Structure 1
Amino acid sequence: MADEDPAQLHLHRIEPARNMRRFYALALQPTLFGGASVMRNWGRIGTNGQSMMETFDQPEEATATLGRLERTKRRRGYRDAKAPARS
């Protein structure tokens, strides 16, 4: 996962030959009742994309799901998104 915050991950997959510019973002959010939610956002770079939230009673279940999703996306060619250079 990302080095700066283990609860957030932003991946992208860019293949110009296939006109493919996709992003996939994952985040863990605690719930008010001691559980955790996995927040997913995906779509074409430059759009808001789609979102989905999955809530778990145990934070460990959410962490395991986030790890599984990350591994799946990385196997499909997604890589860490580079932060834009600031001037």
Structure 2
Amino acid sequence: MSKKDQQPRHLRRIDPEQNMRRFYVLMVQPTLFGGASVVRTWGRIGTAGQTMMETFDQQDAANTAFILLERRKRRRGYQDV
């Protein structure tokens, strides 16, 4: 991943017809043991939301998971903030 790709992704999905105002944040963080973690936070805009961390032994595996999660959210209608 390039330096730009390592930046956290702040996405949101707003649909007034469904009373939907959601956010989704994705980031990759290094671990102390040479691996990497994909950290994702999601919820309704205006709340703290929920957080999940998934740890990988290799940086490449974390980058792949990051890309797949971002694609999945964009297919569902999430856009950059």
**Shared fold, TM over 0.5:** yes
1:40-79 CA distance string (max 9 Å, x none): 0000000000000000000000000000000000000000
Distance 1:71 1:42 in 2: 15
Instruction: Give the secondary-structure state (helix, strand or coil) at the position aligned to 2:5.
Output: coil
* Alignment-mate amino acid for residue 34 of structure 1: G
Q: Residue 67 in 1 paired to residue 63 in 2?
A: no
2:41 aligns with 41
Q: State the Cα RMSD in Å.
A: 1.1
Matched residues in 2 for 1:39 and 1:5: separation?
A: 17
Provide the rounded CA distance (Å) in 2 between the counterparts of 1:63 and 1:37. Answer: 9
* Residues in 1 aligned to 2:49 and 2:42: alpha-carbon distance in whole angstroms: 5
Structure 1 residue aligned with 2:5: 6
Question: Quick one: percent identity of the two aligned structures?
Answer: 63
Superposed displacement of residue 35, structure 1: 0.3
Q: Does residue 1:55 correspond to 2:16, yes or no?
A: no
The structure where helix makes up a greater share of residues is 2
Q: Take 2:48 and 2:4, find their aligned partners in 1: how far apart are those partners? A: 22
For normalisation by structure 2, the TM-score amounts to 0.93
Give 1:5 deviation, angstroms: 4.1
Count of aligned positions = 78
Superposition TM-score, scaled by structure 1 size = 0.86
Unaligned segments of structure 1, at least 5 residues: 82-87
